[in-house]
Chains A and B, each alone.
Chain A
Amino acid sequence: MLQLNRRNFLKSAAATALLAGTGLPALAQGEKLKVGVIHMGAISDTGWEYFQAQAWRALQAEFPDQVEVTVLENIAQIQDCERLFRQLSTQGHQLIFGTTFSQYASLKKLAPTLPNSHFECCAGIDAGDNLGVFEGKHHEGTYLTGIAAGRMTKSNVLGWVGAFPVPQVIYSLNAFLLGARSVNPDVVLKVVWANAWVDPAKEKDAVAALVAQGADVISGSPNTPVQGLAAEEKGVWSIGSTGDFSAYVKKAQLVSFELDWSAAHIEAAKGVLAGTWEPTNRWRGLGDGGFVKMTTSSPDLPAEVAAEMATAEAAIIAGTLNPFAGPIKDQAGAEKVVAGAVLPDEEIKGMTWLVEGVQGTLPSA
């Protein structure tokens, strides 16, 4: 059966529009803002690169006549980034986006030397000279999906398939368990590292391994629908963490959240167009203009659980609930956050430890 959906259609439509837009000596040349984006991987239908692409597509939709986007994808070698960012700049791109942490080092070096362009790097460490960064508070999403997982698990074992132990993944899975434990203190979370960003076969095997260990709700940071499909095959729940795979995972996907960088791109472009752009450090979670959006939830999710999640979401947006509010112990039982305190943002961003109840290892520092 042909799996066409709205998103594919939009994707190809956007791609066509892009092809038509590039390379044209447009009449209004002097007026258009040229925007450059470099993707590390291939733009796909779901996952990280997809969200990056959705952002510049939103930017095009917002300023159809004022903005022209040049996109490079599959620039896997870090060595190439510096050259390509520089080329984009010399070709007159005034706003240039990096899409991954790996490009941050190149951008940090380059941005101050290319004053004709402004730079923004997604998942970069910190804003610098002529370089803004933006990243999502993934943990606000996983805390909420954790609530669903904690309520729905029967075995009290959750599973997480991790790509690499980068900070986003570590604080995501920690918050996932904290969310689950907020409604069900007996839950544990088993973690398997694939040690690959994209290796669908291994992700599928990892799900099988977790299910065999008793996990009945599977989450992780997938770039593909594989985890969800594997969970569906095994008859357990899956949770789309930074990705909504409900188009493919028809039954098993309980709930999901996505990353939405549209605001990041549009704000930056507005700033450049108005001449007011400043390098900023944007770290946002849920809420209006935020980078984390709760997306689909399955009809199988009981209404009271959905309501519980909605309450928590409102509390997070209002600032009355912080996923990393104490008391929090680490794996070894040492108290990391005392009751009444919250973990400072800087420490969340650079997390190197797993919370109590997570069963898995991190490379030791």
Chain B
Amino acid sequence: MSIRLEARPQPSRTMIWLSPILAIGLTCCVAMVIFAVAGLNPLSALATFIFTPVTDLYGLGELLIKAAPLVLIAIGLSIGFRAGVWNVGGEGQLIVGVIFGGWLALTYGPGGGPWVLPAMVVGGAIGGALWAAIPALLRTRFNANEILTSLMLNYVAQLWLGYLIFGPWRDPAGFNFPQSEPLAPAALFPTLIEGTRANASILLALVAVGLGWALMSRSFVGFQLKITGLSEGAARYAGFSPSKAVWIGMLAGGLAAGIAGVGEIAGPLGQIFPTASPGYGYAAIIVAFLGRLNPIGILFSGLLMSLLYLSGDVAQMSLGLPSSITGLFQGTLLFFLLTADVLIHYRLRSSTIAAAVVAGSAK
């Protein structure tokens, strides 16, 4: 028996909605198998895994501050992904956002007024965008593959930040430890919900969702980007140059990642460390795909990914499982979603069954 794909005359509306649910359901099944193998009660372990992190207000706040940067970066990346521009340099762009925003915070933060924080956000955005502009330039001018250049730049950015924190930006009162001075209050996001760490940077993520939606669904540029993603030839024919798509796609990702970087140092960190980036630049790629490159979808997938992170720690604390389970489930979820998405455009046909049907009807 072999399985065959048969193109649907038009994309299945049901499957568009069903496929993420299917993917989540299947991932839960895999999770339960892993729990069972580890000698745990699959159902109660799954319940612990999913619900424990968000049983109180503090947990909800944690969910939001982890989801915010993921959503923000994923929105930015998705604009490029839509146009077939593969920016996998979100991590490096986030770090350069940290460097630019951090420089402003360290220079003007102490004694600075209420303008410091907005300046940091703008500075971070510029930093991220500049870092993203390098692969964009190399792609448009020299035809260099942006996946590889943006990725290599992640390592470079990390070393650059390391140099700054181990060198010029080292906290003089910190015994030479690799950390900056604590950021001044003017350089920190205000807390939104009392008793949690949820801060105003969450609002930036929501704004990004709105802007992303407006750009992709309500603007001509968004339409052009989508066309480019579908067929470069068609876009060119419509007078939209692929270079423009590269620039818009890369810069959107860089801007968003840079702002997310500022959100980390001006939020949960409150200080600059060489390890300021928690890998959000990579995780956001999954978020973007899980959200099917749709801003509203990304909002939900960002929350889901954030929950998975928190659950990974719960798995360790209460279930005795290693924390790498988080990445395992994230990868699995994405696999299932990509598989399930096939069903939007194709029907699965088993040739044996089809043959049997034919044989049966012939009688």
Interface of A with B (CB < 8 Å)? Answer: 19, 22-23, 70, 72-80, 82-84, 86-88, 91, 101-102, 104-105, 109, 125, 164-167, 170, 195, 346, 349-352, 362-365
Chain B's closest residue to A135 (CB) is B175
- CB–CB A101/B62 < 8 A: no
Query: Chain B contacts of A74 at CB under 8 A?
Result: 316, 322-324
Query: Chain B contacts of A362 at CB under 8 A?
Result: 166
- CB–CB B318/A23 < 8 A: yes
CA distance A365 to B170 in the complex (A): 7
| Given contacts A23-B320, A105-B271, A363-B166, A167 and B264 within 8 Å (CB-CB) | no
- CB–CB A364/B167 < 8 A: yes
Chain A's closest residue to B309 (CB) is A80
CA distance A73 to B268 in the complex (A): 20
Q: Which 5 A-B pairs have the closest CB atoms?
A: A363-B167, A350-B175, A77-B278, A167-B176, A363-B166
Instruction: Please tell me the size bucket of the interface on B.
Output: 35 or more
Determine which residue in A80, A167, A195 has the highest number of CB atoms from chain B within 10 A of its CB, and name it. A80
- The minimal Cβ–Cβ distance linking A211 to chain B, given in whole angstroms, is 25
Chain A's closest residue to B313 (CB) is A84
| Given contacts A82-B268, A164-B166, A364-B167, A101 and B177 within 8 Å (CB-CB) | yes
- CB–CB B324/A72 < 8 A: no
Query: Chain B contacts of A73 at CB under 8 A?
Result: 316, 322-323
Query: Chain A contacts of B273 at CB under 8 A?
Result: 78, 102, 105
- Whether B279 is near chain A, meaning CB under 8 Å from some CB there, is yes
- Whether B179 is near chain A, meaning CB under 8 Å from some CB there, is yes
- CB–CB A167/B166 < 8 A: no
- CB–CB B323/A363 < 8 A: no
Q: Which of A72, A164, A165 sits near B317, CB closer than 8 Å?
A: A72
- CB–CB A125/B177 < 8 A: yes
CA distance A105 to B175 in the complex (A): 13
- Whether B159 is near chain A, meaning CB under 8 Å from some CB there, is yes
Q: Which of B236-283 contact A (CB under 8 A)?
A: 264, 268-271, 273-276, 278-279
Interface of B with A (CB < 8 Å)? Answer: 58, 62, 65-66, 159, 162-163, 166-168, 170, 174-179, 182, 197, 264, 268-271, 273-276, 278-279, 309-310, 313, 316-318, 320, 322-324
Chain A's closest residue to B61 (CB) is A83
Q: Which of A86, A102, A195, A352 sits near B162, CB closer than 8 Å?
A: A195
CA distance A80 to B273 in the complex (A): 14
Query: Chain A contacts of B264 at CB under 8 A?
Result: 79
Determine which residue in A22, A109, A125, A349 has the highest number of CB atoms from chain B within 10 A of its CB, and name it. A125
Q: Which of A72, A79, A83, A105 sits near B316, CB closer than 8 Å?
A: A72
- CB–CB A165/B166 < 8 A: yes
**5 A–B contacts from the bound complex (CB under 8 Å):** A74-B323, A80-B313, A83-B313, A195-B159, A363-B167
- CB–CB A365/B177 < 8 A: no
Determine which residue in A70, A79, A80 has the highest number of CB atoms from chain B within 10 A of its CB, and name it. A79
- The minimal Cβ–Cβ distance linking B261 to chain A, given in whole angstroms, is 12
Query: Chain B contacts of A75 at CB under 8 A?
Result: 313, 323
Chain B's closest residue to A101 (CB) is B177
- CB–CB A72/B177 < 8 A: no
Determine which residue in B66, B268, B279 has the highest number of CB atoms from chain A within 10 A of its CB, and name it. B268
Chain A's closest residue to B168 (CB) is A365
Chain A's closest residue to B179 (CB) is A105
- The minimal Cβ–Cβ distance linking B72 to chain A, given in whole angstroms, is 15
- CB–CB A72/B313 < 8 A: yes
- The minimal Cβ–Cβ distance linking B171 to chain A, given in whole angstroms, is 9
Query: Chain A contacts of B166 at CB under 8 A?
Result: 164-165, 362-363
CA distance A346 to B176 in the complex (A): 11
A-B contacts besides A83-B313, A125-B175, A350-B176, 7 pairs, CB < 8 Å = A23-B320, A77-B278, A78-B278, A80-B313, A125-B177, A167-B176, A365-B168
CA distance A22 to B315 in the complex (A): 13
- CB–CB A365/B322 < 8 A: no
Determine which residue in A22, A83, A346 has the highest number of CB atoms from chain B within 10 A of its CB, and name it. A83
Q: Which of B176, B270, B317, B323 sits near A352, CB closer than 8 Å?
A: B176
Q: Which of B167, B178, B323 sits near A166, CB closer than 8 Å?
A: B178
